[in-house]
Amino acid sequence: MAVLATIVFCFAMSYAIIWLISKFMKVRIPEDEESIGQDIVEHGEPAYL
Amino acid sequence: MRKSFKMMAAVMVLATAMVAMVLTSQNSAADTGSADSGSISWIMVSSALVFAMVPGVAFFYGGMLRRQSMSSMIAQTLAAISIMSISWIAVGYSLAFGSDGAIIGNLQHLFFGGLTEEASGGAISTLEFATFQMMFAIVTAALVLGACAERIRFNAIVWFLIIWSVLVYAPMAHWVWGGGWFDQFLTVLDFAGGTVVHICAGVTGLALCIFVGPRLSGTRKARAHSIPFAFLGAMLLWIGWFGFNGGSSALADGTAVHAFFTTQAAGACGMAAWAIVQYIKVGRVGVLGLIAGGISGLVAITPGAAYVGFVESMVIGAVGGALCFMAVRIIRSKTKFDDALDVFGVHGVGGIWGAISTGIFAKSSLAGVDGLIYGGVWTCSSDR
């Protein structure tokens, strides 16, 4: 019961929050940037040289 | 658009600072009761151990991603440290532990106002407890990151964690530990955070990975770039777990020793069970399977660490390991969800099993109420 309530609440609320954020900004990186990797496209800091 | 966010951020920082200044003026007088230095020490060490799980998460997750996502994982984990700490200090603690209202706490402890550092009556001080709890908030947020790794924007996850820490984590902590409605109307046995930390992180991760969508197939198929890092991270998590479970009685007592032991027993059995099932199903066992199995066992024992006997803890760990292996396999093959690092498969499913198994195996001599086996009824879901 408590487990069920937790699952429903966390899922619904988290989904609502990320949905709200998606109205203000892009939430995921474009496909070509994904293959390059976030280290470079987002942070400009590759972990390995 | 960009400008409005900068404005918003600046206004928030300013407002925060102003409230902080008002509140710091109301520090309460030091308590002068007897203090248990053993408990004070152990909970401070436990807090540090729980914090060590956070870099553990970064190594564990980062090691399993592609090499071009390693710094991104580290950066997101660092952001979680900063956001969750500030949010917990500012409002989180007060919302979670401020009062025993059914839905949410109150705002009387904003910026840790009214907390004392002096312990009294053999218990730890409120400040120490609040700090210990802050580490849990950070770990929960860090665990979520694995589900949407390699594709969610850094800005988006930062905003997500800021809002999530107040709207999801604080209420969950309040309901289970802070006297909320779970506590009032249901008998919930959650010793160290199986529900608050693991189920919550697992389900939040699932929501994020569904909303953001799967990674490219090439990214999905890529192998773990650093097995040693994954191993290092998993072992940091395991070491931290002794503080996570062992510190959750908030005292240095027999309960702490009990939880410390069951943690190790369940982790070992989870690893063995995952390995055996994987060997039967796949034909070989490796580092990633062994560490995932260990973590599954540790997740499963978290809610019941102090409430179940020795043999039961081993059973819980073993079933947790086997169950999580099957769950991860099913999620990967049968669904389209791209839970990049099996956050739901391990923490969600392991946490759910842990909560149910605690209801099954709890002993009244340890937990105060009997579970299914020792009590013969579903105390887990009945009224107190």
Task: Provide the shortest C-alpha distance from residue B351 to chain A (in Å).
Answer: 9
Q: What's the pLDDT score for residue B381?
A: 38
pLDDT mean across residues, chain B: 87
Closest CB from A20, A28, A43 relative to B72? A43
Q: Which two tokens stand for residue B96?
A: 């979670």
Q: Which residue has the higher pLDDT, B381 or B254?
A: B254
For residue A49, the chain B residues in CB contact (below 8 A) are none
Dihedral sign computed on CA atoms, order B293, B294, B299, B302: positive
Best residue in A39, A41, A49 for a mutation probing chain B (most B CBs within 10 Å): A39
Dihedral sign computed on CA atoms, order B17, B19, B22, B24: negative
Beta strands per DSSP E along B106-248: none
The reply to whether residue A13 touches residue B213, judged by beta carbons under 8 angstroms, is: no
Q: Residues B46, B124: contact at Cβ < 8 Å?
A: no
Whether residue B259 has pLDDT greater than 90? yes
* Structure confidence by residue, pLDDT tens digits, B109-118: 999 988 988 8
Q: Which residue has the higher pLDDT, B29 or B95?
A: B95
Whether residue B26 has pLDDT greater than 60? no
Residue appearing with tokens 């019961």: A1
pTM comes to 0.87
Confidence of residue B384 (pLDDT cuts 50, 70, 90): very low
Give the C-alpha separation, A6 to A4, whole Å.
5
Measured CA distances, A2 to B141, B144, B180, B300 (Å): 21, 20, 12, 16
Task: Provide the shortest C-alpha distance from residue B165 to chain A (in Å).
Answer: 10
Q: Residues A48, B164: contact at Cβ < 8 Å?
A: no
CB count in 10 Å sphere of residue B86: 17
DSSP 3-state of B384 = coil
Give the C-alpha separation, B92 to B287, whole Å.
37
Q: Residues B33, B119: contact at Cβ < 8 Å?
A: yes
Residue appearing with tokens 């191993």: B231
Give the C-alpha separation, B217 to B198, whole Å.
28
* Structure confidence by residue, pLDDT tens digits, B85-94: 999 999 999 9
Give the mean pLDDT of B45-66. 96
Q: What's the pLDDT score for residue B2?
A: 58
Q: What's the pLDDT score for residue B367?
A: 73
Whether residue B379 has pLDDT greater than 50? no
Q: Residues B218, B151: contact at Cβ < 8 Å?
A: no
Share of chain B above pLDDT 90, in %: 66
Highest mean pLDDT among B32-41, B73-82, B188-197 belongs to B73-82
- Cite the DSSP H helix spans in B247-286: 254-282
Range scoring the smallest mean pLDDT among A22-31, B14-23, B253-262: B14-23
Highest mean pLDDT among B3-7, B119-123, B187-191, B199-203 belongs to B199-203
Whether residue B167 has pLDDT greater than 80? yes
The reply to whether residue A37 touches residue B68, judged by beta carbons under 8 angstroms, is: yes
* Structure confidence by residue, pLDDT tens digits, A14-36: 999 999 999 999 999 998 899 89
Give the C-alpha separation, B361 to B59, whole Å.
34
Q: What's the pLDDT score for residue B28?
A: 40
Please indicate if any CB of chain B lies within 8 Å of the CB of A49. no
Give the C-alpha separation, A2 to A11, whole Å.
14
